[in-house]
Structure 1
C-alpha cells in the first residue's frame, strides 16, 4: 500500500502541473452526469413514478451507482486504458518488476478529474437521503457505504475483465463498454423495472442487483421477511473481483512479449 500511495502522489502532482486544465476537465465531468440527472428529473415530472418507485428513491439509486463508477474510474483507470500498455510493449517492464502486475497496472494511471462526477453524486445523494421518509440509522449508513464500496469492486472487476481481453486482441474491445458505461446507465434505476432475464443476469452473473436493488429495499424499509440478506447482499459485489482477478492471471500467463 505504501507503493500504491506513492503512485497516487506522483500522478496527482503530474496532473496538477496544469491546474486550469485539470479544473476545467473536472467541471466538465460534473456537468455530464448532471445532464443525465436532469433528464431523469424531467422523465419523472412527466410520468410521476416508474413501477412504484418515486423520483427521490431512484435518485438515491442513481447517486450510489454514479459515485461507485466515479471512484472506480479514478483509481482503476489503468485497466481501462490497458490496451495502450500492451500495444506499446510497456507491459513487458511490469513483468520483470518484483511487484504484482495488478498493483502496477492500478498505479499506472489515475483520473483525479473524476472528482467532478464524485461531487455531483454526493450532492444528489445528500438530497435523496433528505427526501426519504424511512428512519435513518447508523446501520443503514453503514449499508449505504457498503453499497458504494461494492459498486466500486464491480466496476473495477469489469475493467479488469476488459483489460484481460487485450492479451488476445491487443486492442480493447468496444463490447466491454456494454458492461461499463451500459452497466452504469442500467444500474442507475432499480433493477426490478427490467425484464426478468435482465434482472437475473445482473444479479447472478454481474451482481449490480446486489448494489442498486436488494440493499436499497432495506434502506427504504421495503423488505419482506428477514432484512439480513438484503443488508449483506453487497458482499456479492465485493466477491465479484475474485473471479476477475483469476481470469487476469490466466491472461498474464498467455501474454506474448513483444521481444523488444
Structure 2
C-alpha cells in the first residue's frame, strides 16, 4: 500500500504540472455525463415511469453506478490502457521487478480528472435523496456504501479481463467495451426492465445486480427479507475480482514478449 500511495503521489504531481488543463478536463468530466442524465429526465418526462420505477428511484441507481464507474476509471485506468504496455514491450520491465504485476499495472496510470465525473454523480445522488423518502438505518447506510464499492470492484475486474486478452491479441479489442461502457449503461437502470436473459447474465455472470437492483429494492423498502442479507449482497460483486485475478495470472504465465 505504501508503494501504491507513492504511485498516486507521483502521478498526481505529474498531472498537476498542467493545472489549467487538469481543471478543464475535470470540468468537462463534470458536465458531459449530465447529457446522459438529461436523457433520463426527458425519458421519464414523456412516460412517467418504467415498470413501476419512478424518475428519482432510477436516479439513485444512476448515481451509484456512475460513482462506481468514475472511481474505477480513476484507479483502474492502468488495466484499461494495458494494451499500450504490451504493444511497446514495456510490460517486460514490469515482469523483472520484485513486486506484483497487478500493483504495477494499477500504478502505471491514474485519471484524476475523473473527479469531475464523481462530483457530478454525487450531485445527482444528493438531488435524488432529497426527493426520495427512505427509512434510513445503519444497515441501509452500509449497504449503499457497499453498493458503490461493489461496482468499483466489478468494473476493475472487467478492466482486468479485457487487459488479459491483450496477452494474445496485443491490441485492445472493442468487444470489451460491451462490458465496460455497455455494462455501465445497462446498470444505470434497474435490471428488471430488461429481458430475463439480460437480467440473469448481469446477475450470475457479471454481478451488477449486486450493485444496483437487489440492494436498491432494499433501500427503497420493496423487500421483506432480513437486513443482513441485503447488507452482504454487494460482497458478491466484490468477490468478482477473485476469478478475474486468477485469469490475469494465467495470462501472465502464458505471456510471450512482443519482441519490441
Same fold? TM cut 0.5: yes
**CA deviation after TM superposition for structure 1 residue 197, in Å:** 0.5
Deviation at 1:81, TM superposition (A): 0.2
**TM superposition shift of 1:231:** 2.5
The structural deviation recorded for 1:216 is: 0.5
Across the aligned residues of Structure 1 and Structure 2, the Cα RMSD in angstroms comes to 0.9
Partner SS for 2:211:
helix
Once the two structures are TM-superposed, the CA of residue 103 in structure 1 deviates from its matched residue by 0.1
Maintained 8 Å contact 1:94/1:101: yes
Separation (CA, whole Å) in 2 of partners of 1:172 and 1:188: 25
Partner residue, 2:245: 245
Q: Number of residue pairs matched?
A: 260
The Cα of 1:226 is off from its aligned counterpart by: 3.1
CA distance in 2, matches of 1:64, 1:136: 17
Residue 193 of structure 1 deviates from its aligned partner by 0.5
1:113-166 CA distance string (max 9 Å, x none): 000100000011111112111211222111100000000000000000000000
The residue number in structure 1 matching 2:149 is 149
Equivalent residues in 2 for 1:112-191 (5 A)? 112-191=112-191
Residues 1-260 of structure 1: pairs in structure 2 closer than 5 A: 1-259=1-259
Task: Please give the alpha-carbon distance, in whole angstroms, between the structure 1 residues aligned to 2:131 and 2:236.
Answer: 28
Moved more, 31-40 or 107-116: 31-40
**2:133 counterpart SS class:** coil
Report how far residue 233 of structure 1 moved.
1.1
Gaps of 5+ in 2: none
Counterpart contact for 2:79–2:163, Cα < 8 Å? yes
- After TM superposition, the score normalised by the length of structure 2 is 0.98
Task: Judge conservation of contact 2:79–2:105 (CA < 8 Å) in 1.
Answer: yes
Give yes or no for contact 1:218–1:231 (8 Å, CA) kept in 2: no
- DSSP-derived class of the 1:165 partner: helix
Q: Secondary structure at the match of 2:31?
A: helix
Could you list the runs of 4 or more consecutive aligned residues of structure 1 that deviate by over 2 angstroms after TM superposition? 224-231
Contact 1:75 1:111 in 2 (8 A): yes
Query: Offset at 1:104?
Result: 0.1
Instruction: Say whether the 8 Å CA contact 2:139–2:228 is kept in structure 1.
Output: no
Report deviation, 1:259.
4.7
TM-score (normalizing by structure 1): 0.98
